[in-house]
Amino acid sequence: MTLARAAGLDAVETQWLMIGATPCLLARRYDREVAPDGSLLRIHQEDFCQALGVPPERKYQTEGGPSLADCFNLLRQWSTAPVVDIRSFLDGVIFAALTGNADAHAKNFSFLYRGASHRMAPLYDQVCTLVWPELSATLSMKIGAANSLPEVSPEHFRQLAAKAGLGWPIVRERLAELTAGLEKLLDSDTLDLAPHAVRLSEQARQVVSSRTARMQRLIG
């Protein structure tokens, strides 16, 4: 999550803490606002499965759940700022692919409702699932014809652009920019990420480093 923020994505702020002997991940609530009188106001959230009428047990595309094209079409039809939110969603898809997250399913993307505004929520629940070899590398939502993380290439993003009605030059540009940006962040010896000096685990760093280096070669 902190790596996503460092790469310029709109992601929830998180902090790693030790409370006594218990390791904890603290996430700043993005679905609450402070009213003028100091009380907390709840902002209604609806994830993409809910917005598409898909039950949670079918959140994976292989089980009949939404595809990335479905999600892009949903943003195009329902967001009150579709151009901005489609860009944010695209960034989230690219970031998940580059950082080894196979579990970026439709319940991990949401809308926030403020009056008549329907806008995409910040990115949340971004996890490097490839750190755990026992977890499946099958993509929750296929990228083009790619079924699993190891096979994802620029060609699959070109296929996604065609299926989702996106301009390939824009998709290619964001893929190149985020790949280069992550490589630059990983170039630090310590990779201390503001604001809480979070340090990637060596396993996660190796996964992200190998995936960005491979994508950079394929883009080149």
Burial label, 166 (beta-carbon count in 10 A; 0-12, 13-18, 19+): buried
Q: Which two structure tokens, joined as six digits, stand for 210?
A: 């190998």
Beta-carbon count within 10 A of 169 CB: 9
> Active-site residue numbers?
103
CA distances from 116 to 80, 119, 124, 173 (A): 8, 10, 23, 32
Helix (H, G, I), strand (E, B) or coil at 66: coil
CA pseudo-torsion sign 212, 185, 172, 119: positive
CA atoms within a 13 Å half-sphere pointing along the CA-CB vector of 217: 6
Looking at 61-167, list the stretches that DSSP marks H as alpha helix, in order from N- to C-terminal side.
68-78, 82-98, 154-164
